[in-house]
C-alpha cells in the first residue's frame, strides 16, 4: 500500500513541475529535397559526441559507460525540387578503444512532395521514428544508429505517420545464418487543439522476423516478435518560465508470433505513465512503469521481465515496477552546436535486491551544418 501511495504522489505532484521522452530534435539529422537548391551539391556535416554512464547494479540492465564520437559526412545532390541524392559515410570512434569501432557507407534517394517523403537506402531511423523507450532504446543512437531499407513519412497538420522496413541481415545461398528483418510505424492523430491545449492519440508498433528459406539452420526455429503501444497525450502551453506542461500515457504490448515458442513469455504488457514540464531551466519528467511478462525487441532492457545481463541472463520476474524522475537541460550553445545533459534516477519497486536509488547520466554535444559546394550547370 505504501508503494502504491508513493507512486500516485510522485506522478500527480510531478504534473505541476515536470514528457514520456525528452526532445531529441537537436540530435536528429534530416536531409530533404530543397526546391531552392536544385542543381547544387552540398556537404552535410554531422558530429555527435556522447557520454552515457549507467551507474546500475541490478539484474536487468548492466552498468557501463559509452564514451566517444560519431562523424557522418555526406554529399547531397539536389537533382530536382522533389529529389535529393545522398552519399556519405558513418564513422564511430569509442574513446579508450584502438582504431575505429564501426564504419558504414551511406546512400539514399529522398523524394519529397507537399507533406509526403519517401526514402530508399539509409533511413531517417532510430530516434527519428519517435518510439517510446520501451520499444526503442535511446542508446541505439550510439550503438546502432544506421538503418537501411524503405521509409514513408507523412506530416500533416493534424496527423503524422512514419512507416518503415529495414533489412538487418541479408543472406545468400547457402547461408550459415538466418536473415533478419525489422519494420514498423509510429503515428499520432490530434484529437483536439484549442487555446494552448492539445489532446492526441499516439500509435506505435514494431515487428521483428528472423528466418529465411535459403539458410542451413533448419533445426533452428523461426522467430517473429511484435511490440506495440497506444495511449493518450495531453499538453498545455503556458508561456513564460514554464513553457508547457503535459501528461503522456501508454499501454504497451508484447507478443510472440513464432510458430515454435521458445521465448520465456509468449505475451505481455505494461503501463507507462508520465507527467512533466518544459521550462526555461530544462525539462523535468516523472514516470512510472508497471510491466507484466513484457519483452522488447529494441527497447531499453531495464523495463523487461527477462534479463539479458552478463551475470543474470535468463533471470525472470513477471511483474516489474519502476519509478523514475528525470531531468534534461538542452541548449544551443552556438549556431549549429547543441548541448544536451540528462540525469535519470530510478527506483525498482519490484525486487528486494534492487530496491535502491540508481541512475544514469548522459552528456551529448552535437554539431551539424550544411555547406554549399557548387552548382552543376544544367
How confident is the model at residue 370, as a pLDDT? Answer: 97
The domain defined by 115-375 carries CATH number 3.30.70 = no
Band (2; pLDDT cuts 50, 70, 90): very low
pLDDT at 353: 56
Q: Are 49 and 67 in contact (CB under 8 A)?
A: no
The band of 20, judged by pLDDT with boundaries at 50, 70 and 90, is low
pLDDT at 262 over 80: yes
> Span 314-318, mean pLDDT?
94
- Its pTM stands at 0.91
Where residue 3 falls among pLDDT bands split at 50, 70, 90? Answer: very low
pLDDT digits (tens, 9 = 90+) for 72-97: 999 999 999 999 999 999 999 999 99
pLDDT tens readout for residues 346-360: 999 876 555 688 999
Amino acid at each position: 500500500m505504501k508503494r502504491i501511495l508513493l507512486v500516485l504522489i510522485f506522478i500527480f505532484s510531478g504534473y505541476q513541475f515536470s514528457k514520456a521522452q525528452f526532445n531529441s530534435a537537436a540530435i536528429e539529422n534530416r536531409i530533404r529535397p530543397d526546391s531552392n537548391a536544385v542543381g547544387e551539391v552540398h556537404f552535410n556535416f554531422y558530429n555527435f559526441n556522447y557520454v552515457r554512464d549507467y551507474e546500475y547494479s541490478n539484474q536487468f540492465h548492466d552498468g557501463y559507460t559509452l564514451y566517444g564520437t560519431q562523424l557522418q559526412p555526406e554529399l547531397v545532390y539536389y537533382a530536382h525540387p522533389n529529389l535529393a541524392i545522398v552519399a556519405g559515410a558513418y564513422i564511430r570512434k569509442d574513446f579508450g578503444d584502438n582504431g575505429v569501432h564501426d564504419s558504414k557507407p551511406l546512400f539514399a534517394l529522398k523524394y519529397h512532395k507537399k507533406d509526403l517523403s519517401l526514402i530508399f537506402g539509409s533511413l531517417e531511423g532510430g530516434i527519428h521514428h519517435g518510439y517510446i523507450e520501451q520499444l526503442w532504446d535511446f542508446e541505439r543512437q550510439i550503438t546502432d544508429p544506421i538503418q537501411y531499407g524503405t521509409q514513408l513519412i507523412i506530416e500533416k497538420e493534424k496527423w503524422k505517420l512514419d512507416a518503415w522496413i529495414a533489412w538487418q541481415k541479408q543472406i545468400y545461398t547457402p547461408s550459415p545464418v538466418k536473415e533478419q528483418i525489422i519494420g514498423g510505424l509510429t503515428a499520432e492523430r490530434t484529437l483536439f487543439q484549442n487555446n494552448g491545449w492539445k489532446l492526441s492519440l499516439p500509435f506505435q508498433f514494431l515487428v521483428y522476423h528472423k528466418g529465411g528459406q535459403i539458410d542451413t539452420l533448419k533445426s533452428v526455429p523461426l522467430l517473429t516478435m511484435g511490440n506495440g503501444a497506444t495511449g493518450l497525450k495531453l499538453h498545455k502551453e503556458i508561456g513564460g518560465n514554464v513553457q508547457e506542461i503535459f501528461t503522456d500515457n501508454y499501454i504497451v504490448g508484447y507478443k510472440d508470433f513464432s510458430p515454435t515458442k521458445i521465448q520465456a513469455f509468449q505475451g505481455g504488457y505494461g503501463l507507462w505513465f508520465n507527467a512533466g514540464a518544459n521550462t526555461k531551466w530544462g525539462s523535468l519528467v516523472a514516470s512510472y512503469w508497471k510491466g507484466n511478462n513484457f519483452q522488447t525487441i529494441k527497447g531499453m532492457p531495464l523495463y523487461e521481465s527477462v534479463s539479458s545481463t552478463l551475470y543474470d541472463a535468463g533471470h525472470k520476474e513477471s511483474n516489474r515496477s519502476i519509478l523514475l524522475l528525470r531531468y534534461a537541460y538542452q541548449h544551443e550553445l552556438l549556431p549549429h552546436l547543441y548541448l544536451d545533459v540528462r540525469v535519470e534516477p530510478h527506483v525498482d519497486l519490484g525486487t528486494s535486491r534492487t530496491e535502491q536509488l540508481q541512475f544514469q547520466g548522459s552528456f551529448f554535444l552535437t554539431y551539424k551544418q550544411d555547406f554549399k559546394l557548387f552548382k552543376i550547370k544544367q
